[in-house]
Amino acid sequence: MTEPSTWEQILDYSNRANPYPLYDELRRRPVTRLADGSYLVSSYAEIAALLHDPRVSSDIGRNPAAAAAGASVGDDGDGQGMTPTFLSMDPPDHDKFRRITMRHFGPPATPGRVAGMEARMTEIVTDLIDKMAGPSRIDIVDDLAYPLPVTVICELLGVPPGDEQRFRVWVDVALQSTDPGLDPETQQKKRAEAGRELRAFMEELVEAHRQAPGTDLISAMATDDGPEGRMPDGQLVSTGLLLLIAGHETTVNLISNGALTLLRHPAELQRLRDDPDLAIPMVEELLRYEPPVHFVPFRTALDDIDIAGTTIPAGASLTLVLAAGNRDPAHVTDPGLFIPDRPNNQHLGFGGGVHLCFGAPLARLEAQIALTAFASRLKNPRLVTDPPPYRPSPFLRGPSHLLIDIDGITS
Amino acid sequence: MRLVVDLTKCQGYAQCAFLAPDVFTIQGDEALTYDPVPDEAQRRRIRRAAAACPVQAIRIDQPDRSEGARHPDGTPGTAAPIEGNGGSFKRSGRIVIVGASLSGLRAAERLREEGFTGSLTIIGEETHEPYDRPPLSKQVLAGSVPSEDTTLPRRREIDADWRLGVAATGLDLAAKQVQLADGGRIGFDKLLIATGVRARSWPNAAEAALAGVLTLRTREDAATLRQLLARRPRRVLVIGAGFIGCEVASVCRELGLPVTVAEAGPAPLGAALGGVIGAIAGELQIENGVDLRCGVRVVSLDGDATGQLCRAHLSDGTTLDVDVAVAALGTVRNGEWLAGSGLASGKWGVACDAGCRAFDVNGLVTDDVFVAGDVSRAPQPMFGYQFLAVEHWGNAISQAEVAAHNMLSSETGRWPHLAVPKFWSVQFGTEIKSVGVPSAADEVAVVQGSVARRRFLAVYGYKGRIVAAVAFNQNKWLEFYEPLIEQAASFPPSFHHVDEPADAQPVPARFQPAANPTQDATVVVTGHYPNERRARLTDRRLP
């Protein structure tokens, strides 16, 4: 038996609770070639450069590793594939569809939407924490970190509150299918079945909103024609699903990773209690220190790329290991320390370049509000198990449950 | 509260516009504008915006934590004590900064950040504290920001003796004194020259004196022009289609005012971008209703009996009824006060080495006189060590930081200023951004995107290597080209990448022979001829 590679160890579930020493090991070589011919990039400067490098494609249809994993578009097993979203497209199509989607979500056309949700987010958080009354054991994931973003994204998109139970199951299956630890056949099968259900769910939703439009984003996308027209229906369905899933799954991890980090750093938790605005820089530090998205897979070199002494050949698949770049000592001082008010915190938590996370402002605001309330309202919170159990995915990393005991809540 | 955004860094991610939508606004695809003096009630949202900025470009007027001695290129370093005097200069030396604008202010802040505790005097001809100029031709003219709201935020206390409203009139290097217009003299141990440039005025003095004829450089200019535009003139005439001229025309159209742009060259922005890309900027103007006339000069301006501008005669034989004429004819360097000082200073600026130390007329580098910002002219290794003057916002800051650092450092601790020049402009909702020196090029190729969509990226080449890249609404890709310029990568680029246009063939970039003395002047201080024993400063009139 050969020793498992650093990358294999990172993918191995047993290292999910603390992959950071493995990232340090990986970063000893900024660019690593894997046995399957794909490349990992793990240092900050190189990742940042590749995120702005037009020779790097995000078109999943061009990616050999995605094809091998059965992850390419239009291949979900029933001959009726999912239309690609701007996430897996290159400019100019990427830019166009991202703009069409952005038109209803943010600037320049709808600048106040996210900031305008602050009061509602606060209300949701207040209600969730009110439910924790009395000395009790709570699960930060189930009781706060999951319900906040899922409620917010459902209200934003116009998903009826009762539907959350329906899509949760399929989303879980779909996310499990991205676990690179699974064999490709199982991945594909799981993706296909979850994909079919989710697509039918969103098709139904789009149609309902087109018949009776509300003020939500799906209604707007289904009925409004901007200067660049409307999205084709198939893509509207995929984009709706992308926003629904990416719009909460990652934020769950951001909030629960944040709560865990604060419980491990009681002095910082106290500072946040004393100064709620500390949450503003703290969320940036969390995005660096414990990012919800650990790597970006399935990017493709369109030409030979010379980087850090290595030539990545044209056609090769690239994985950008954001979480390793975030702790690159060549980029930040004391990368392994959690410093909530770290100045000039430029991190890779949301990626970068034209694909920078679409929902970043939403996630930031939710996490700031949730963590401020977590610090100020929970009396004497203490971790029940450290480390907590983790979700299976190595790239969307976060606790599956985070049990804490509290002495009650302050009103 | 006050804030400023380093738009050289901004890549248009719009995080600020999401999180503080009353303060930050995105125009078109990616062009950011902002309120530099927002209501205090917005502070939390602005803090959110500043924290979320992916390139950390937002500065608020609260003392930032010291960033230590970080080179503007990003290289960390430490200020080494000055040898010979045991660091006493850093403790109790005397530094004088002449020029109280962006560069002077940033240098002062930097000196204090690096631990200078001696006396610091800042001399400024204008009566104002340092203010930011880019908003003057944009938000101030549009009426969204009052001109007095452009004061630059302070990153920290600088504890300086401010001498505002008094010009420096001379420099006595032997006595190490700056002479002032009020007859005073101020002694220094080290001097920073940051006197910048002023607008070149309309050459006919009588016509320039007409009411309604003006230039746009200062806060007062902007306030006056804003008032004139608010009175809804029949037509505005913009003379010259450089950046200021194009931005004024853009605001006029935003305000629904008829505007004619008269440009002597074949296209707008020709000096900065060349005729090929300039023609695209011209199309933007025409699409937005500007009466653009290229290859046309303004022959004369007429006033009425009250001395108010009423008419303009153009070289194409036409006459225009206009109430306002903006002379946007480029700039003049504020170096006259150095005449006779022995420094290598002239109409092309003040020559300095890559460490911002001024040269004297013999080509000797001075020890204690430094230069930064628009008035300086430094050898640029990426462009054959030509002495280039760079009138860009980011350059004013990065040179100020290098100069300040070097004033406090021993010989081995000094930094060179090797930053690749960058500029930006916003016109007609389009963000135009550049890295490198386009005007050094002979060829240009559109390599990404589409000119028809007004979203593209053009790469400039000189003798087979890349010297610049210019983006129209594509600025997230621009940083990829910066190292290619630094490394003299071959032109035209031959790699495959996303969003390749159908035809990326290079064409001649069509730069006109320089009409601007700043581009073509020769500073004969480097001693290329061994038999030349003394340098002579030329006072050559250029066409």
The secondary element (H helix, E strand) that includes residue A196 is helix A184-211
In angstroms, the separation between the Cα of residue A192 and the nearest Cα of chain B is: 29
Mutate to test the interface with B, among A50, A53, A99, A254 (most CBs of B within 10 A): A53
Give A46's contacts in chain B (Cβ within 8 Å): none
Shortest CB distance from B449 goes to which of A92, A344, A345? A92
Percent of chain A with pLDDT over 70: 95
Give B476's contacts in chain A (Cβ within 8 Å): 52, 353-354
The confidence band for B80, taking pLDDT boundaries of 50, 70 and 90, is low
The average confidence (pLDDT) of chain B is: 91
Q: What is the pLDDT of residues B12-38, one digit of tens each?
A: 999 999 999 999 999 999 999 999 999
The confidence band for B382, taking pLDDT boundaries of 50, 70 and 90, is confident
| CA-wise closest residue to A102 among A88, A86, A89 | A86
Contact state of A55 with B48 under an 8 Å Cβ cutoff: no
In angstroms, the separation between the Cα of residue B70 and the nearest Cα of chain A is: 12
Contact state of B52 with A115 under an 8 Å Cβ cutoff: no
Contact state of A303 with B496 under an 8 Å Cβ cutoff: yes
Look up residue B516 and give its two tokens. Answer: 């601007």
Q: Could you tell me how many residues make up chain B?
A: 543
Contact state of A284 with B52 under an 8 Å Cβ cutoff: yes
The confidence band for B95, taking pLDDT boundaries of 50, 70 and 90, is very high
Answer for the pair A115, A106: CB distance below 8 angstroms, yes or no: no
Whole-number Cα distances in Å, A170 to A77, A197, A206: 16, 7, 18
The confidence band for B85, taking pLDDT boundaries of 50, 70 and 90, is low
Contact state of A365 with B19 under an 8 Å Cβ cutoff: yes
The confidence band for A75, taking pLDDT boundaries of 50, 70 and 90, is very low
Cα B60 to Cα B62: distance, rounded to the nearest angstrom: 6
Q: A residues 26-45 near B, CB within 8 Å?
A: none
Contact state of A55 with B495 under an 8 Å Cβ cutoff: yes
A96 touches chain B (CB under 8 A): no
DSSP character for A239?
Answer: H
Average of pLDDT values for A188-203? 88
Q: What is the pLDDT of residues A124-139, one digit of tens each?
A: 999 999 999 888 999 9
DSSP characters over B378-411: EEEGGGTTEEE----HHHHHHHHHHHHHHHTS-G
The confidence band for A2, taking pLDDT boundaries of 50, 70 and 90, is confident
Cα A93 to Cα A71: distance, rounded to the nearest angstrom: 20
Shortest CB distance from A352 goes to which of B44, B54, B496? B54
The confidence band for B74, taking pLDDT boundaries of 50, 70 and 90, is low
Checking if the pLDDT of A311 tops 60, the result is yes
Whole-number Cα distances in Å, B144 to B23, B140, B148, B217, B250: 11, 6, 12, 18, 15
Q: Which amino acid is at A194?
A: A
CB atoms within 10 A of CB A256: 27
The average confidence (pLDDT) of chain A is: 93
With 0-12 / 13-18 / 19 or more C-beta atoms within 10 angstroms meaning exposed / middle / buried, residue B526 is middle
Contact state of A91 with B17 under an 8 Å Cβ cutoff: no
Shortest CB distance from A302 goes to which of B18, B45, B498? B498
DSSP characters over B177-207: EEEETTS-EEE-SEEEE---EEEPPPS-HHH
Q: Which residues neighbour B272 within 8 Å (Cβ) at sequence distance 6 or greater?
A: B242, B243, B278, B423, B434, B438, B439
Answer for the pair A366, A122: CB distance below 8 angstroms, yes or no: no
The secondary element (H helix, E strand) that includes residue A279 is helix A279-289
In angstroms, the separation between the Cα of residue A8 and the nearest Cα of chain B is: 31
Q: What is the pLDDT of residues B164-208, one digit of tens each?
A: 999 999 999 999 999 999 999 999 999 999 999 999 999 999 999
Cα B105 to Cα B111: distance, rounded to the nearest angstrom: 10
Contact state of B51 with A280 under an 8 Å Cβ cutoff: yes
CB atoms within 10 A of CB B316: 11
Average of pLDDT values for A172-192? 75
Is the Cα torsion angle A42, A44, A46, A52 positive or negative in sign?
positive
The confidence band for B122, taking pLDDT boundaries of 50, 70 and 90, is very high
Checking if the pLDDT of B500 tops 90, the result is yes
Question: What pLDDT does residue B82 have?
Answer: 55
Residue predicted with more confidence, B533 or B286:
B286
Helix (H), strand (E), coil (C) string for B35-69: CCCCCHHHHHHHHHHHHHCCCCCEEECCCCCCCCC
Is the Cα torsion angle A49, A53, A59, A62 positive or negative in sign?
negative
With 0-12 / 13-18 / 19 or more C-beta atoms within 10 angstroms meaning exposed / middle / buried, residue A386 is exposed
A366 touches chain B (CB under 8 A): no
The confidence band for B356, taking pLDDT boundaries of 50, 70 and 90, is very high
Cα B21 to Cα A144: distance, rounded to the nearest angstrom: 27
Question: What pLDDT does residue A1 have?
Answer: 58
Contact state of A52 with B480 under an 8 Å Cβ cutoff: yes
Shortest CB distance from B499 goes to which of A91, A277, A360? A91
CB-facing half-sphere around the CA of B108: CA atoms within 13 A: 28
Question: What pLDDT does residue B515 have?
Answer: 45
Checking if the pLDDT of A401 tops 90, the result is yes
| CA-wise closest residue to B504 among B439, B458, B541, B440 | B458
Strand-pairing partners, residue B443, are B461, B508
Residue predicted with more confidence, A71 or A138:
A138
Assign B534 to helix, strand or coil: coil
| CA-wise closest residue to A57 among A23, A84, A29 | A84
Average of pLDDT values for A344-371? 97
Answer for the pair A38, A318: CB distance below 8 angstroms, yes or no: yes
Assign B9 to helix, strand or coil: coil
Angle (deg, nearest 10), helices A360-377 and A266-274:
90
Contact state of B48 with A365 under an 8 Å Cβ cutoff: yes
In angstroms, the separation between the Cα of residue B429 and the nearest Cα of chain A is: 11
Pseudo-torsion of CA B532, B537, B541, B543, nearest 10°? 70
A116-132 exposure pattern, b = at least 16 Cβ within 10 A, e = fewer: ebbeebeebbeebbeeb
Question: What pLDDT does residue B81 have?
Answer: 52
Is the Cα torsion angle B78, B84, B89, B93 positive or negative in sign?
negative
Q: Which residues neighbour A8 within 8 Å (Cβ) at sequence distance 6 or greater?
A: none
Average of pLDDT values for A248-259? 96
The confidence band for A45, taking pLDDT boundaries of 50, 70 and 90, is very high
Question: What pLDDT does residue A180 have?
Answer: 64
With 0-12 / 13-18 / 19 or more C-beta atoms within 10 angstroms meaning exposed / middle / buried, residue B341 is buried
A325 touches chain B (CB under 8 A): no
Question: What pLDDT does residue A135 have?
Answer: 84
Answer for the pair A113, A106: CB distance below 8 angstroms, yes or no: yes
Checking if the pLDDT of B286 tops 80, the result is yes
Task: Number of helices (H) and strands (E) in chain A: give both, helices first.
Answer: 16, 10
The confidence band for B214, taking pLDDT boundaries of 50, 70 and 90, is very high
Pseudo-torsion of CA A274, A280, A283, A288, nearest 10°? -120
CA A88 to chain centroid, in Å, comes to 15
Assign A206 to helix, strand or coil: helix
Question: What pLDDT does residue B331 have?
Answer: 96
A343 touches chain B (CB under 8 A): yes
Question: What pLDDT does residue A169 have?
Answer: 87
The confidence band for A193, taking pLDDT boundaries of 50, 70 and 90, is confident
A95 touches chain B (CB under 8 A): yes
Average of pLDDT values for B218-243? 98
